[in-house]
Structure 1
Amino acid sequence: MTALIADDEPLLRDALARQLAVAWPELDIVAQARNGREAIALFEQWKPHVCFLDVHMPGITGVEAAHHMGERTHLVFVTAFDQYAVQAFAEGALDYLVKPVEATRLDATVARIKARLHASQPALHTDQLLRKLATQLASSAAPAYLRWIRAQVGQQVRLIPVEDIDYLRSDTKYTRIACRGEPVPARDALVTTPLKELAAQLDPALFAQVHRSVIVNLRAVSHVTRGDNDTADIHLKDRPDVLPVSRAYRHLFRAM
């Protein structure tokens, strides 16, 4: 049996490949694609039995790529945790995995795909079903703000819920994420997304930019002390770190 994995995050592609090596050792992953267009080209080249497609890829989405593949392969859609997307897949009885992929869910999906392949059953999806799915996903009221952030820790990718983040800080060409729940410095992770871009995706009711290089989770703040030149320092509840507040953002804490 052969498979293709398509995801715009290389570390997540590698992570799924490692999980499949455990859940389905005899499966040969013949290709990995970075986007929907590449997935289509590699599909035509290799004609894999199974395709694992990330739903939200730049350019051509996973659902659009599936339209091209038709019923020539068994599809497993991979999606970020989104109640609307999950409901749409479930209603269509389509195979899907939620990021981060859990071993038990992957095992169940592999068992279903194996059974269909063994019985020479056709793929579940049809053009009509995929069109309906695309319409549902497009019309769903997707969450306005990030729910989790993919961050690199060594050679691993962690999926960090935003509520677990204490603060984010620019660090040369990276953004450093400090999150609670683990000993320092193991809980700090890095992402390549600029702080400015992340600021636009975080819920302003929970996060505030307090310096050109710092965004803080307001729930993590213990108290604020005034500094010189109309600046201030933020002290956190669960970390010894002290964060600067520049004059441009001092107004956020005037009541304190």
Structure 2
Amino acid sequence: MKHTALIAEDEALLAENLRQELARLWPELHIVSMAAHGQAAVDAALQKHPDVCFLDIRMPGMTGLEAAAAMAEDWPADQPFPLLVFVTAYDQYAVQAFERSAIDYVLKPVQSERLAQTCERLKKALALRQSAGHTNPPAPQVAEPASLELAIQQLRQLLGTAIGEPGSNAANTASGANALTARPAPPLRLLQVGLGNTIHMVPVDEVLYFEAADKYVRVLTASKEHLVRISLRELLPQLDTQRFWQVHRSVIVRSDAIDRVIRDETGKVTLHLHGSPERIAVSRLYAPLFKGL
């Protein structure tokens, strides 16, 4: 049986090299899409439902991890989630993070021998999936999460891990090299929102939620809405994560602004906020945050 794959890599030469290596090592594998950035990878994956996704970690706009998480959020329940292979130039700390999950990885520059091992693991995993009628049996040595829910859990762990480029502060801090010198900045307390010649001072404690809006972030309080020119990815590290929870790839909500959490018969989670008629949808990537005691 022929299987399908997607390659997401913003460097054209590296993408083509990976395509050629896969054609040599796994001739039966059909490449259904070559995506040049994260959002293109998400769109193509949700349209074509490939069996395997090879995702570069560093891509413009959306990282490979974020692209995989976005796929998981919107993946149809009646389709098997693709096997994920991350292509990374990251250091040993990051490699250890991947090795603790069932998600596979290959290092840049891609070596034929290592890629061949990955291909064999993928073939075994796909064969097991096929024989089980799309039920994923437990096989720790195989690069396949046991289910979409496990894939989501592992992606959340990887997204929450401080993986940095070799020599970066994130990598060194995570590995302990800068443990004594790295001092996190205090959480943001006040937003300075510019509007024409006026700067509005918005206490962060009054914000109900933040929502990504193209190149801006919508800042919603009980009485007003503001736009700030910053990405959600840049904003999140500046917030107190004990109080501000990411509940969707495009939404961060103040936890003590949540009045109640409603889970419907399909498992969809919706937040109702104090002092606001708006309802916030929680993606399944972040739904495990909300569990009744």
- 3-state SS in 1 of match to 2:34: strand
The letter for the 2-side match of 1:28 is H
Q: Could you tell me which of 133, 144, 167 is aligned with 1:143? A: 167
Counting aligned pairs with the same residue, the percent is: 47
* Partner SS, residue 101 of structure 1: coil
> What stretches of structure 2 of length at least 5 have no aligned partner?
73-79, 130-134, 137-143, 170-293
Post-superposition, which runs of at least 4 consecutive aligned residues in structure 1 deviate over 3 A? none
Aligned to 1:159: none
Superposition deviation, residue 65 in structure 1: 1.0
Change in 2 beyond 3 A, CA 1:142/1:135: farther
- The code of the aligned residue for 1:51 comes to C
Does the aligned pair in 2 maintain the 1:84–1:142 contact within 8 Å?
no
The equivalent of 1:126 in structure 2 is 151
1:105 to 2:107 alignment: no
Count of aligned pairs? 144
1:88–1:137 CA contact under 8 A, matched in 2: no
Which of these two proteins has the greater Rg computed from alpha carbons?
A: 1
Q: Does 1:19 align with 2:8?
A: no
Indicate the SS of the match to 1:126: helix
SS at match of 1:119: helix
Paired position in structure 2 for 1:43: 45
RMSD over aligned CA atoms reads 1.9
Which whole-Å deviations, capped at 9, do the CAs of 1:161-200 have from their partners, x for residues lacking one?
xxxxxxxxxxxxxxxxxxxxxxxxxxxxxxxxxxxxxxxx
TM-score (norm 1): 0.53
Q: TM-score, normalised by structure 2?
A: 0.46
Taking a change above 3 Å as real, the CA distance of residues 111 and 141 of structure 1, as seen in their structure-2 partners, is closer
Aligned to 1:209: none
Shift of 1:84: 2.1
In 2, the alpha carbon distance for the partners of 1:107 and 1:20 equals: 8
1:111 and 1:60 map into 2 onto residues whose CA distance is 29
Q: Which runs of 5+ in 1 are unaligned?
A: 146-256
- Cα shift at 1:68: 2.4
Contact 1:8–1:57 under 8 Å retained in 2: yes
In the aligned structure 1, how far is the partner of 2:162 from the partner of 2:41?
20
1:33 equivalent to 2:35? Answer yes
Question: Contact 1:7–1:33 at 8 Å: present in 2 too?
Answer: yes
